[in-house]
Structure 1
Amino acid sequence: MKKLIFAGILAATGLTATANAQIQKGNWLVGSSLISSNFGLNTGGGYNIGIQPKGAYFIQDNVAVGGYVDLGINKVTNGSPTEFTYGVGGLGRYYLSPGEKGVDNLLHHGRWFLEGNVGIGGRSVENADSTTGLDFGAGPGYSYFITPNIGLEGLVKYKGRAGFGSEGLNSNITFNVGFSIYLPTSKAKEVANDLK
């Protein structure tokens, strides 16, 4: 356990990689997006919270593929039914390199990226119709590296669901904030061995 904590501290302080090495072939990305959150401040106000853990492997420089899980809960007002959303599927990311046409390396410590996903998702509404269907989304984002291995991320994403049940297509635009940890394969193997 001490080795695991030590490995986490090393990753957090940025001692495990150089500033340009985090999105190279063979590295891992592990993180989560807070899909949306809002809380009604008026009497009887509702809330909307979502989280999307994700993990990906860099199959080549600047290109990562992996998976995600989507979980959320929504209540419009105090008396409205509670809605649960869920999803699981695959995702892909492409990081734009500085120097590519139209790419400006904002603050010299981050990278723009494009993210897309496809999977199975749905929603379940308390005492009402529910649906499951094709879950998909795409959008641009930016990862600002606070250390060489940890990025704070913002992502604007179109999110859609083509329902197979009582509901057809529904979609929205989400504003996501989250973080990702970038681990070189050698460090990921050390962490896996420490967990054994």
Structure 2
Amino acid sequence: MKKLMLSMLVAFGMSISANAQSSGDLFAGGASNLGVTITPDFNLNASVNADYFIMDGLSVGGNVGLGIGSVTSISLAPSVRYFFMDDIFAMVSADVLSIVGDNTSAGLNSLNAGVGYWYALGENVIVAPMLNLSDITNSLGINLGMGISVKL
């Protein structure tokens, strides 16, 4: 009886996660993270984001972020998120527009990569803790973050 209940629970959990990553789904949300760079600067970031699933397990999206550290920054970054092992994902984003202090720069300003866990709280709400390597192209940093998204 225990094995049957456990099997039913696992099957139910897999059905929720499969529905959360289906082609055509659109999610919008926000995230925040705390990080440190090699230059020992601490930073706190907050962003709003959107993801559109172009196929099951693969989404494209973008975010607008605000960073507070030794300087204040605003960034625009397209992203790609790939899901493997059901709810574990890898994400890559590139800051293509940055405003840091009084300086504005367009083009590839930094490249970011990370892994996370996509946890469904019901059918329409997702919580995603994430570990990122940030600013790979300039001064490597590591960030620990948490995001929440809602299916639209």
Runs of 4+ in 1 over 6 A off after TM superposition: none
Give the TM-score taking structure 2 as reference length.
0.73
Look up the match of 1:67. 62
Coordinate RMSD, CA, aligned: 2.3
Look up the match of 2:148. 179
Look up the match of 1:124. 101
- 8 Å CA contact 1:23–1:182 kept in 2: the answer is no
Look up the match of 2:133. 158
Describe the SS at the equivalent of 1:170: coil
Indicate whether 1:58 and 2:53 are aligned.
yes
Question: Partners of 1:158 and 1:35 in 2: how far apart?
Answer: 12
Cα 1:173/1:33, change in 2 over 3 Å: same
Question: Partners of 1:87 and 1:170 in 2: how far apart?
Answer: 16
- 8 Å CA contact 2:20–2:120 kept in 1: the answer is no
Q: Which runs of 5+ in 2 are unaligned?
A: 1-14, 36-41
* Structural mapping, 1:99-118, within 5 Å: 111-118=87-94
Describe the SS at the equivalent of 1:36: strand
Look up the match of 1:101. none
Question: Partners of 1:97 and 1:172 in 2: how far apart?
Answer: 26
- Per the TM alignment, residue 113 of structure 1 is displaced from its structure 2 partner at its CA by 0.6
Look up the match of 1:139. 114
- Percent identity at matched positions? 22
Cα 1:84/1:161, change in 2 over 3 Å: farther
Indicate whether 1:35 and 2:33 are aligned.
yes
Question: Partners of 1:66 and 1:155 in 2: how far apart?
Answer: 16
- Per the TM alignment, residue 73 of structure 1 is displaced from its structure 2 partner at its CA by 1.6
Letter in 2 for 1:52: S
- Per the TM alignment, residue 69 of structure 1 is displaced from its structure 2 partner at its CA by 0.9
- Per the TM alignment, residue 142 of structure 1 is displaced from its structure 2 partner at its CA by 0.5
Q: Which runs of 5+ in 1 are unaligned?
A: 1-17, 38-46, 76-82, 99-110, 163-168, 184-196
Letter in 1 for 2:127: L
* Count of aligned pairs: 128
